[in-house]
Amino acid sequence: MAILRDLLTRLSGRVESNVSLREYTTWRVGGPAEVLVEPAGIGDLCLVVEYARERDIPLTVIGNGSNLLISDEGIGGIVVKLGPRMSRIVIGEGFIQVEAGARLAGILTAARDAGCGGLEFLAGIPASVGGAVAMNAGANGLSIGDRVLEATVVDLNGKVHFKTHDELGFGYRTSALHDEAAIVVSVKLGCFPKSAAAIRAEVEQHLARRKQTQPLEYPSAGSVFRNPPGETAGRLIELAGAKGLRIGDAEVSRKHANFIVNLGAAKSREIRQLMFQVQRLVSEQTGIWLEPEVKLLGRHEATE
């Protein structure tokens, strides 16, 4: 494969073809990547972005895969995985500088050990920081955008830009990065002095609540649908009688209705079909069409 040979000679990170993406998503579904690249740093990332643009090759970027539904057919072109090779964490005075591939759990551990408070609300979100910032992930009444001071991004021409908090345009589960199609490379998060014991106690409290209210024993992508204004998607799904609905091994969780869990061997198409069935039932019952919070990648069959 020409793409594979070219990238192997240009990049210092990992380059492989026909790699199953199932293990790269928290739902544990999805087909293969035609070519998978794990950049070793920002230089690698800029090179692969430029390479794809110059040759008009489709380019997809993923992080920890915690908010993705990848089709059973997989993803063509180049899939860039930002992970451990780009996950450095640096603690400063009143801030934490982190690369996009760093997982939130690792950031919380570093913050606790350094006595840096303010990020505890992120406990239990199974995301990397790049994806979390792009979608403004949050919990417990706060979002990561509330803590972002600035970010370094790469545009689709392979050029590096620095964005201030205001330029990132954070909103409910979104940011300006969606419209600009820019790739987060690193983020500067604000924090404040707090004892390690107090940080640990708050993190454990958030984790215990998640364990009590969410189906953590099964693979999932967290909340599937956005909360409509003044409502919660979970309550609407329950009201529509959709809790416990199942297609194959995909099931609307009996513990939290806004979760769809993989009971073992679910297919991406089954999850997509179940999502549409939930949307239809909620619409019929309430007149509200739920918007997905998860991102669909690859070619999904039409459900309407």
Between CA 250 and CA 256 the distance in angstroms is 14
pLDDT for 126 equals 93
Residues of the chain with CATH 3.30.43.10: 2-84
- For the question of residue 204 being annotated catalytic, the response is no
Q: What are 209's two structure tokens?
A: 């609540």
What CATH number is given for 2-84 in this structure? 3.30.43.10
Domain with CATH 3.90.78.10 in the chain: 233-297
Closest CA relative to residue 86, chosen from 122, 119, 128, 120: 128
Give dist(CA 191, CA 110) in Å, integer: 12
Catalytic residue, chosen from 38, 99, 270, 293, is 293
Within the chain, all domains assigned CATH 3.30.465.10 are found at 87-213
Per-residue pLDDT, 300: 78
pLDDT for 179 equals 75
Averages of pLDDT over each 10 residues, the chain, 304 residues:
86 95 96 97 96 95 95 97 96 97 97 97 95 92 96 94 96 87 95 98 96 96 95 97 98 98 98 98 97 92 60
Q: What is the DSSP letter of 63?
A: S
Catalytic residue among 173, 200, 209, 226: 173
Parallel/antiparallel/unpaired status of strands 116-117 and 138-139 = unpaired
**What is the C-alpha separation between 184 and 161, in angstroms, rounded?**
10
Q: What is the pLDDT of residue 4?
A: 83
* Amino acid at position 7, single letter: L
Question: Which residue of the set 71, 186, 223, 253 is catalytic?
Answer: 223
CATH of domain 87-213: 3.30.465.10
d(CA 33, CA 75): 5
Percent of residues, the chain, with pLDDT higher than 90: 91
* Residue 143 appears among annotated catalytic residues: no
The pLDDT score that the predictor gives to residue 299 is: 83
> 10 Å Cβ neighbour count for 102?
27
Contact 297, 100 (CB under 8 A): no
Query: Active-site residue 173, yes or no?
Result: yes
- Cβ count within 10 A of residue 185: 23
Q: Which DSSP letter does residue 300 get?
A: P
- Assigned fold of 233-297: 3.90.78
